[in-house]
């Protein structure tokens, strides 16, 4: 449920009247500047040499510059034979964001998250119910804050065992829950023991001496009646998100909520420590988005003075904003949709 707060701008003192300090989370009416996260932590970048070794050990593509999440091996479960619609890395991120949502929810009876902090241009006369009466028609700048309740829609996650999502690692949880996302490729059964009593499977008996055209006709005529054109697992990832982008957004959000990493206090809104951290928490997603493995920091140049300002706060803020979008998505039972255009 959304809630809006407005802060009238005082042009004389050049500040917003009664505007409280910036924050992201409120628990049972109490603002938390440092959220005590214990289960959700930022994830550092794996060294390329180690990443290549892992890929080779798993028999992945010999073309090491190909994104792993696009490889067939990232979609196929070698133990169960199950096939994912998208690579396992994306499901790992779904789990990661959902764990964060569950941990935030567990902090109190009513947990609220600031999802938008924006400046509104001059407010004109309007009948909108979204704007308080004392601000209508005042003709001055105002700042708005949008607050949403953090409460996971559990009915959307049937079979996930959310207590395990909160407390277990992804790998441990995945061992017993991968079937929620997997389909299966057609295969031959070598013995009756491979028959699985499950309504989601269809079994055919074909005489090996049959003519190929007869089999094709049968498959087109009879099998088509039993298969849907859009047969999909129960839980699908929307769109085509990229793992590194999802990780950057998650890291920026977590480090803002709990700005103590490896015992060092960070200041995400104005400090460059996040950007310069040895673990590269904000990483380049391709050769155009950064160098030395790090995202490029936006730079502002004052046209009058020529003074250049490196905007570390904007870098983290943009990533955090998109991370909030994914967090609210998983609260509603979805994952993967692209954040709205900035």
pLDDT at 63: 43
| pLDDT number for residue 117 | 73
Query: What are 53-98's pLDDT values in tens digits?
Result: 555 555 555 444 555 555 555 666 666 667 777 888 999 999 999 9
269-274 long-range contacts, CB within 8 A, separation 24+: 269/22, 269/313, 269/316, 269/317, 270/312, 270/313, 271/312, 272/297, 272/310, 272/312, 274/312, 274/316
What pLDDT shows up at residue 135?
53
pLDDT band at residue 287 using 50, 70 and 90 as cut-offs: confident
**Higher pLDDT among residues 90 and 288, named by residue:** 90
pLDDT in tens, 31-50: 898 899 999 999 988 765 55
- Cβ contact 237:86 at 8 Å: yes
Query: What mean pLDDT is reported for the chain?
Result: 78
pLDDT in tens, 230-255: 556 678 889 889 999 999 999 999 99
Residue 8 pLDDT more than 80? no
| Bigger pLDDT: 69 vs 168 | 168
The domain locations on the chain are: 2-187+237-331
pTM of the model: 0.75
By percentage, how much of the chain surpasses pLDDT 90? 30
Rounded Cα gap, residues 45 and 51, in angstroms: 10
């Amino acid at each position: 449920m959304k809630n809006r707060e407005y802060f009238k701008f005082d042009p004389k003192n050049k500040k917003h009247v009664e505007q409280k300090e910036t924050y992201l989370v409120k628990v049972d009416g109490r603002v938390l500047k440092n959220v005590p996260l214990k289960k959700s932590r930022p994830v550092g970048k794996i060294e390329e040499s180690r990443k290549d070794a892992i890929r080779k050990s798993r028999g992945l593509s010999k073309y090491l510059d190909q994104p792993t999440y696009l490889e067939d091996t990232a979609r196929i479960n070698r133990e169960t034979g199950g096939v994912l619609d998208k690579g396992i890395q994306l499901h790992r991120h779904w789990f990661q964001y959902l764990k964060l949502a569950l941990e935030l929810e567990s902090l109190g009876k009513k947990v609220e998250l600031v999802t938008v902090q924006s400046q509104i241009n001059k407010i004109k006369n309007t009948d909108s119910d979204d704007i308080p009466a004392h601000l209508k028609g005042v003709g001055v700048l105002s700042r708005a804050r949008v607050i949403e309740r953090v409460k996971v829609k559990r009915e959307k996650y049937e079979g996930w065992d959310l207590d395990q999502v909160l407390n277990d690692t992804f790998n441990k949880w995945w061992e017993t829950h991968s079937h929620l996302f997997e389909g299966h490729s057609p295969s031959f059964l070598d013995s009756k023991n491979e028959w699985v009593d499950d309504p989601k499977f269809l079994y055919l008996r074909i005489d090996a001496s049959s003519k190929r055209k007869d089999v094709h006709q049968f498959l087109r005529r009879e099998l088509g009646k039993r298969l849907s054109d859009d047969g999909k697992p129960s839980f699908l990832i929307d769109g085509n998100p990229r793992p590194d982008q999802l990780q950057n957004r998650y890291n920026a959000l977590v480090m803002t909520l709990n700005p103590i990493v490896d015992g060092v206090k960070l200041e995400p809104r104005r400090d460059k420590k996040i950007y310069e951290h040895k673990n590269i928490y904000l990483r380049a997603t391709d050769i155009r988005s950064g160098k030395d493995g790090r995202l490029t920091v936006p730079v502002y140049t004052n046209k009058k003075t020529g003074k250049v300002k490196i905007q570390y706060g904007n870098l983290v803020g943009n990533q955090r904003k998109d991370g909030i979008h994914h967090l609210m998505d998983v609260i509603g039972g979805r994952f993967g949709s692209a954040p709205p255009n900035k």
